[in-house]
Amino acid sequence: MYLPDYHGNSLVNLMSSLGQAYGRENGPYPGCTALVDVELSQYDNIVLLVIDGLGHRYVQSKPGLFQSHCVAELTSVFPSTTATSISAFLTGLAPQQHGLTGWFTYLREVGGVTAVLPFRLRGAENELTEQGFDLSELYQHPVFFDQLNCNSVIVSENWILETTFNKAHSGMAQKRGYNNLAEMFEQIRDCTKPSLLGKSKQYIYAYWSQFDHLSHVHGNQSEQVADHFMQLQSATERFIAEISGTNTLLLITSDHGFIDTDRDRCITVNDHPDMHECLTVPLSGEPRVAYCYVKPDKHELFNDYVVSNFSNQLDCIPSQELIDNHYFGLGEPHPKLAERIGDYALIMKENYIIKDWLPQEQPFFHYGVHGGVDELEMFTPLILLEA
pLDDT for the residue numbered 196: 52
Residues 237 and 278 placed together within one structural domain of the fold: no
pLDDT of 195 over the 70 cut: no
CATH classification of the domain holding 79: 3.40.720.10
CA atoms within 13 A on the CB side of 78: 26
pLDDT, tens digit, 9 for 90 and up, residues 93-142: 999 999 999 999 999 999 999 999 999 999 998 999 998 898 888 888 88
Mark 136-161 as b/e (b = at least 16 C-beta within 10 Å).
eebbebbbbbebbebbbbbbbbeeeb
The reply to whether 308 and 238 lie within a common domain is no
pLDDT of 55 reads 98
The answer on pLDDT for 62 being more than 80 is: yes
- Return the CATH number at 339: 3.30.1360.180
Residues 267 and 255 in one domain: no
Predicted local confidence at residue 36, as pLDDT: 95
pLDDT digits (tens, 9 = 90+) for 86-97: 999 999 999 999
Question: Do the beta carbons of residue 264 and residue 363 sit within 8 Å?
Answer: no
**pLDDT beyond 70 at 197:** no
Answer yes or no: pTM beyond 0.85: yes
Q: Are residues 245 and 348 in the same domain?
A: no
pLDDT band at 25 (very low <50, low <70, confident <90, very high): confident
Q: What pLDDT does residue 194 have?
A: 62
Say whether both 174 and 35 belong to one domain. yes
In a domain, 120, yes or no: yes
Q: How far apart are CA 224 and CA 213, in angstroms?
A: 11
Q: Which band of pLDDT confidence, cut at 50, 70 and 90, is reported for residue 200?
A: confident
pLDDT digit string, tens, across residues 337-357: 999 999 999 999 999 999 999
Rounded to whole angstroms, how far apart are CA atoms 347 and 285? 10
Is 211 a member of any domain? yes
249-258: average pLDDT: 98
- Distances in Å between the alpha carbon of 123 and those of 83, 87, 277, 282? 17, 22, 20, 11
Total domains present in the chain: 2
Output b/e per residue, 280-292; b: 16+ Cβ within 10 A: eebbbbbbbbbbb
Q: Does one domain contain both 379 and 359?
A: no
Which of 72, 8, 18, 10 is closest to 204 using CA atoms?
18
Residue 198 has pLDDT above 80, yes or no: no
Residue 193 has pLDDT above 90, yes or no: no
Are 17 and 154 members of one domain?
Answer: yes
Give yes or no: residues 195 and 244 share one domain.
yes
Question: Same domain for 178 and 285?
Answer: no
Residue 126 CA to residue 145 CA, distance in Å, equals 28
pLDDT band at 216 (very low <50, low <70, confident <90, very high): very high
Boundaries of domain holding 242? 11-260+374-386
Percentage, residues of the chain above pLDDT 90: 92
Report if residue 255 sits inside a domain. yes
Return the HEC string of the chain: CCCCCCCCCEHHHHHHHHHHHCCCCCCCCCCCHHHCCCCHHHCCEEEEEEECCCCHHHHHCCCCHHHHCEEEEEECCCCECHHHHHHHHHHCCCHHHHCCCCCEEEECCCCEEEECCCCEECCCCCCHHHHCCCHHHHHCCCCHHHHCCCEEEEEEEHHHHCCHHHHHCCCCCEEEEECCHHHHHHHHHHHCCHHHHCCCCEEEEEEECHHHHHHHHHCCCCHHHHHHHHHHHHHHHHHHHHCCCCCEEEEEECCCCCEECCHHHEEEHHHCHHHHCCECCCCEECCCEEEECECHHHHHHHHHHHHHHHCCCEEEEEHHHHHHCCCCCCCCCCCCCHHHCCCEEEEECCCCEEECCCCCCCCCCCCEECECCCHHHHEEEEEEEEC
The pLDDT score that the predictor gives to residue 139 is 86
How high is the pLDDT of residue 26? 81
Convert the pLDDT of each residue in 270-325 to its tens digit. 999 999 999 999 999 999 999 999 999 999 999 999 999 999 999 999 999 999 99
Q: How many CB atoms lie within 10 A of CB 127?
A: 17
Instruction: Provide the pLDDT for residue 319.
Output: 98
Residue 333 phi/psi, 5° resolution?
-80, 155
Residue 199 pLDDT exceeds 80: no
Side chain identity at 316, as an amino acid letter?
C
Peptide bond connecting 363 to the previous residue in cis, omega within 30 degrees of 0: no
Domain annotation covers residue 4: no
Across the chain, mean pLDDT equals 95
